[in-house]
Amino acid sequence: MKKKFYILSSLILLIGCNNIDSSTPIPNSKEVVRNTNSVNVAQQVVETTPTRTLSKVKYIDKPIVIEQGMLHIKGFMGTIQPTLKSALQQDGDHATAMSACSSVAMQMTNDYNNITNGVKIRRTALKYRNPANKPDEVDKEVMYRFQAVKNFKPVAVDMGSSYRVYKPLITKASCLYCHGSKSDINPKIAKMIQKKYPHDMATGFKLGELRGVVVAEFPK
């Protein structure tokens, strides 16, 4: 019985070997690894760049564009930050700062845009306070990207006839007076926010989180 089993096994093995086409090369282990790596690389490209392939946002890697956008953003921030800092120091409950941020900051933004040549500066956020700062779809996706990659460096976007440069705004300790949790916000300020912005969403932030962005848009 054992002898018959060995004979049958040998025949099966012989048939299998004869069915291999000698003209077809058998890949060695290095070729298999190379092919596998090629597949992995292709998968990684798809997985790590979803915004470039699955969305309408066209990110560009042009340092000169980012530099130009940041020049305007820094110019704008250089005018508004001293005003807000001074307002924070005027009273202990920071009510003055709240008023400055809600009214003076918007007016300063408009004033800055009026003196620039075709450049538009604005602030926006996923959780915004002023309806005038509501983000569009491109703004949203850029901010979602910032949140996902945790890389808070400025990025540039090609809008067709113009460029946009986005600078992320990170939540600092001073931001929590008006944008933090309920325990961070003075009840007086909370009432002011509720009265002026009944549909406010810009609270509940934690230190170091993305609070929003400053956007500079300018023609090509």
- Whole-number Å distance between alpha carbons of 68 and 73: 9
pLDDT digits (tens, 9 = 90+) for 63-103: 999 999 999 999 999 888 787 777 777 766 677 777 777 77
pLDDT digits (tens, 9 = 90+) for 138-164: 999 999 999 999 889 999 999 999 999
pLDDT digits (tens, 9 = 90+) for 28-72: 443 433 343 433 433 333 333 333 434 689 999 999 999 999 999
pLDDT at position 148: 94
pLDDT at position 79: 83
- DSSP per residue, 38-69: HHHHHHHHHHH-HHHHHSS--EE--HHHHHHH
pLDDT at position 150: 87
The band of 201, judged by pLDDT with boundaries at 50, 70 and 90, is very high
Q: What is the DSSP letter of 25?
A: P
Inform me whether the pLDDT recorded for 131 exceeds 90: yes
The band of 26, judged by pLDDT with boundaries at 50, 70 and 90, is very low
Inform me whether the pLDDT recorded for 19 exceeds 90: no
pLDDT at position 55: 67
Q: Of 51, 44, 47, 42, whose CA–CA distance to 147 is shortest?
A: 51
pLDDT at position 106: 84
pLDDT at position 84: 75
User: Euclidean distance between the first and final Cα of the chain, in Å?
Assistant: 86
- Whole-number Å distance between alpha carbons of 165 and 151: 15
Q: How do the domains of the chain map onto residue ranges?
A: 57-219
The tokens for 141 are 């996706």
Task: Express as a percent the part of the chain with pLDDT over 90.
Answer: 50
Nearby residues of 112 by Cβ (< 8 Å), 6 or more positions away: 75, 76, 79, 121
**Mean pLDDT for all residues in the chain:** 78
